[in-house]
Amino acid sequence: MKLHCHQISLAYGETESAVFTDLDFTLDGPGFHALFGPSGVGKTTLARIVIQQMAPDAGRIESVPPERRLYSYNLERLPGWSSVGRHLDRVTPPARRERKDALAADFGLAPVLHQRFAQLSLGQKNRVNLVRYLVQDFDLLIMDESLANVDEATRERIILRIKTLYPEKFFLYISHNVVEVARFCRRVLVLRGGRRRPQALVVPGQDQHGAEPPDPADLQRTMLEIMNAA
């Protein structure tokens, strides 16, 4: 799969300040790709354009081949009138029930499936929300701070598990954690702000798959490239 952003322009607000001006990039899938940049640079806005929740003033998003795109984001909430387990059962297609159970176990959620969503911690809520997207039919999944409030070791385990279970899928991972995006992502799309040219740069990541971390010197070099791009 290939995701291409072709000359996207967008301005909003009373001052009509530009968020993007002729933004252009290409990411080749499958795998984990990161969307990185400082707060306010337009990461979530770009994610909403990719999934067609928002239309740009000019330009277009193309994918080859066409695919089903889903969007998971931090602080998304589920209904509180049933247990987490019953809700996941309702939204999971029958053919993916075993996958749902495996994900719940892998994500450390099995002990809380009987609880209501409001009773969970923020990290547990985000993990439950992510599971309900991973059991759906998708080709591209945007994870917008989807593992916020989850401890580092658990985030690492979850990312590696997703990469193992979905090697053919395209993920766009939005995070402020430069170590994480440098370590686990194949490509890191760095948004630089509306007045800088080019507005986005693509930096190769370390794309870790197994438990063995990348060479520390290589990881440090990638992190510096990302920060210099930003």
> Is there a single domain that holds both residue 217 and residue 124?
no
Residue 24 parent element (H or E): strand 17-28
Mean pLDDT of the chain: 90
> Is there a single domain that holds both residue 107 and residue 191?
no
> Is there a single domain that holds both residue 219 and residue 155?
yes
User: How confident is the model at residue 66, as a pLDDT?
Assistant: 64
Query: What would the pLDDT profile of 57-103 be if each residue is shown by its tens digit?
Result: 899 988 877 678 999 988 777 777 789 999 999 999 999 999 999 99
Question: pTM (2 decimals)?
Answer: 0.90
Residue 182 burial class via C-beta count within 10 angstroms: exposed 0-12, middle 13-18, buried 19 and up: buried
> Is there a single domain that holds both residue 225 and residue 149?
yes
> Is there a single domain that holds both residue 63 and residue 88?
no
Q: Which domain holds residue 224?
A: 2-68+139-229
Query: What would the pLDDT profile of 163-172 be if each residue is shown by its tens digit?
Result: 999 999 999 9
User: How confident is the model at residue 17, as a pLDDT?
Assistant: 74
Query: What would the pLDDT profile of 44-69 be if each residue is shown by its tens digit?
Result: 999 999 988 888 889 998 887 767 89
User: Which whole number is the average pLDDT over 215-226?
Assistant: 96
**Does any domain span residue 74?**
no
**Does any domain span residue 225?**
yes
Number of domains the chain contains: 2
Upstream peptide bond of 204 is cis (omega within 30 degrees of 0): no
